[in-house]
Structure 1
Amino acid sequence: MVTLPPIAPMLASPGRLPLPGGDDRWAVETKQDGQRVLARLPGDGTALFRSRSGENITSAYPELQALGEEFRGAPAILDGEIVALDESGRADFGRLESRMGLVRSPAAVVGRAARRAPVHLVLFDVVFLGADSLLTAPYAERRHALESLELSGACWSVPAAVVGSSARALEATRAAGLEGIVCKRLTSRYEPGVRSRSWIKIRNLVTTDAVIGGWTPGRGRLTGLPGALLLGQRHEGRLRYVGSVGTGWSERERADLSALLSVAATTDCPFTPVPLITGAHWVLPRLVGEVTYATRTRAGYLRHPSWHRLRPDLAPEDIA
C-alpha cells in the first residue's frame, strides 16, 4: 500500500491582464467560489478530504465518498474545490456555508443538509498518482494526466482549461455572473503551501455605493481606529446591512474616516433588521462610500469588498 505524502494546496496570487510573456504561456480556468480541498485517495476505495487549513472535512460531504471507488488500486491526491450550485448552475457560496460547519455534526443532520444543498467537486489538478509524485511535473503534464483519468460523475467533474484568450475568458465569466479566472503558467511546478506568481487569479469586480451605518474597532496598531466599516443599502424603504469592508484605504483615509464617524456616533442601529455584530459602533447613516466587490451571496451580502472612496456628492436616501 502506497503512503500518501502530506501536501498543502498551492495558492494563486492576485493579478491583472495582460499576462506576463503573453497568453500562449498560460492555461485559463474558471475561478470557483467554494471551499478548496485536497482529495486524498489511498486506493482502497475510500476518500479523505482536507481543507486548505489541513482540517479533515470528509464527514461534511458524504456524497463525495464514492470518488474513492474511482481510484481503487490506484492511489492519488487531487486538488479541487467543493461548490454548491444554485438553480442556474452557478456556484453559490451562501448555500455552501450551510454545509461547511457540519464536520462534527450527527450523520442525520449532515444528510438533511446534503439533500437541501448538494455539492459538486470541481477537480483541476493531480499532484500524486499511482506511486509517483507529480509536484515537479509542469502544469501542462499534470493537466494531461488529470484529463486522462476521465473523471465525470454525478458529484465531480474536470472543467475545461483553455490556453490563451484570457481577456475573452474573463469577459465570458463576467457576462455569466461568475467570480473570474485563474491563469496557470504551463511550465509551472506545483508549489505546496506557496502563494505563487505562477498561478494568477483575476476577479471580476463590481462597483457599488453603500451607506456607512457603523464600524468595528481595529486591533494592534489600529487600536482606536475603525478596522472595518459596516455598510447598508436601501431595500423596501429600509436600510439593510450588506456587509463590512476593512481593506482598500490608506492610513490617512482611515484617520479621516475615524474623525467623521466620531461626529456621527449614535446608540441606535440604523440597519433593519439589526445585524448580530460583536463590538459594533453605530453611526447616523449620513456618509456614502464607493466599494468594489466580487459577487453577492444569496442573502445579498457583498463578497470580497474593498473600499474605494467617499461619495459626498451622493445622498444616503438614494442608495439602493
Structure 2
Amino acid sequence: MLATPGRLPSAAQDARWAYETKQDGQRAVVYLPGDGSVLLRARSGAEITGAYPELRALGGELGRVPAILDGEVLALDERGRADFQLLQGRMGLAHAPARAARLAARVPVHLVLFDVLHLEGGPLLRVPYAKRRARLESLALDGAYWSTPGAVVGHGAEALRATREHGLEGLVCKRLDSVYEPGVRSRAWIKIRNLRAEDVIVGGWLPGKGRLTGLPGAVLVGQRSADGRLRYVGGVGTGWSETERTGLAALLRAAETGVCPFDPVPAVTGAHWVLPRLVGEVGYSTRTRAGLLRQPSWLRLRPDLAAEESAADLPTEFDG
C-alpha cells in the first residue's frame, strides 16, 4: 500500500488519523513462515533477502507464529538518521552474498516495521489500521537490527513540526479506520515531505528532449564554498510552468559561455555552461554526503539577489 502526497488532515479530522515518521530507505515486505527463516521482497516483487544478512535472525523472533510484515530498510548515519546514500551501497546485492556480508559489517541496516498484513494463519488486510497497529506492537519486535517505532494518534501539526525540527524526511498520515490495499496509492495514507529551501547559482543547463526540445530540461546549480569557489550541488529539472521554462531559456542563452564556472568541473555530459549570475531558490529533501541536493525542485528566480550577494554558501561540512 502506498501513500498519496498531500497535506495534514484538518483539525476537525485530526483525531481520526495516526502519524508516523516518513522513512528514507527501501520498502520491504517481510515474510516469516514460522520455521525460523525470513524472506524480504522489495516493492518490485524482487527478493532482496540476500542483500541484508543481518536481518536473517528476525526469522526466529516469533517462534512458530507465521506473519507477513510491512516496513522499510534503512541505513543510519552517525547521528542515527536515515541516509539513503549509505543504503545505496547495500542495495542490489541479493545475489552477491560475500560482498553483502562484508558491507553488513561496515554499514549495518535497520528495519523499521510499521504494519502487519498476516498473522497466525489469518489475513489482516481488511482489519482497520488501528487494530493492525495494535497487533503489530503486541509482537514486541525490537532488536539490534529492527524495531517498531510508535505512531502518534492525533496531534498531527505537532508531529510534523517535530520531524522538521529534527531534520527528518517527513510524516505519513494514516486514517485509523483504513484497510490495507496492496499496490494502491491510497488517500487513506498521506505523505508529507519536508522540503528545505536554499538559494543557488545557475552555472549551466542540459537541453530538454521531446516536447522540451529547444528548452532547458534541467539547470545545473551550485553554491559558494568558504574559499569562494562555485561548487556544483546538482541538477534541477522540475518546478517550472511552460511559460517560466521559456523565459528561463532566454536568460540562459543570453548568459552562455564556453567556460564551466564550477570548481571542480562536474562530470555532466552534454552541459551548456553559463556565466554564474542567475540566482534561484530551490526546494530539496536532504543532501547527500557529498553535498548534492536530493530531489531538488525549482521554486523561483531571485532577481533581487546578485550571485556575489547570495547567502547560499555551502554548509561547512561540504567545503574543501
Residue 211 in 1 paired to residue 215 in 2?
A: no
- Give the 5 Å matches for 1:46-195: 46-105=37-96, 107-195=97-185
Q: For the Cα contact (< 8 Å) 1:94–1:299, is it kept in 2?
A: no
Q: Matched residues, percent identical? A: 67
> How far, CA to CA, are the matches of 2:286 and 2:10 in structure 1?
23
Q: For the Cα contact (< 8 Å) 2:111–2:146, is it kept in 1?
A: yes
Gaps of 5+ in 2: 314-320
Q: SS in structure 1 opposite 2:134?
A: helix
- Give the 5 Å matches for 1:212-231: 212-231=202-221
Candidates 248, 272, 281, aligned match of 1:290 = 281
Instruction: Report the counterpart of residue 5 of structure 1 in structure 2.
Output: none
Shift of 1:311: 0.7
> How far, CA to CA, are the matches of 2:116 and 2:264 in structure 1?
46
Shift of 1:281: 2.7
Specify whether residues 144 and 272 from structure 1 end up closer, same or farther in structure 2 by C-alpha distance, changes over 3 A only: same
Please say which of residues 247-256 and 66-75 is displaced more in the overlay: 66-75
Q: For the Cα contact (< 8 Å) 1:180–1:201, is it kept in 2?
A: yes
Shift of 1:72: 4.2
Note the alpha carbon deviations across 1:197-247, whole angstroms, 9 max, x for none: 111111222110001122223333223322222211111321111122222
Note the alpha carbon deviations across 1:173-213, whole angstroms, 9 max, x for none: 11111111111000011111111111111122211000112
RMSD: 1.7
Specify whether residues 77 and 220 from structure 1 end up closer, same or farther in structure 2 by C-alpha distance, changes over 3 A only: farther
> How far, CA to CA, are the matches of 1:53 and 1:213 in structure 2?
37
Candidates 1, 6, 20, aligned match of 1:29 = 20
> How far, CA to CA, are the matches of 1:65 and 1:102 in structure 2?
15
Note the alpha carbon deviations across 1:242-297, whole angstroms, 9 max, x for none: 12222221111111112222222233322222222333332222211111122222
Q: TM-score when scaled to structure 1?
A: 0.91
Instruction: Report the counterpart of residue 264 of structure 1 in structure 2.
Output: 255
Q: SS in structure 2 opposite 1:127?
A: strand
Aligned residues: 310
Specify whether residues 255 and 182 from structure 1 end up closer, same or farther in structure 2 by C-alpha distance, changes over 3 A only: same
Q: SS in structure 2 opposite 1:167?
A: helix
Q: For the Cα contact (< 8 Å) 1:86–1:92, is it kept in 2?
A: yes
Candidates 226, 232, 237, aligned match of 1:241 = 232
Q: Which amino acid aligns with 2:205?
A: W
Please say which of residues 151-160 and 272-281 is displaced more in the overlay: 272-281
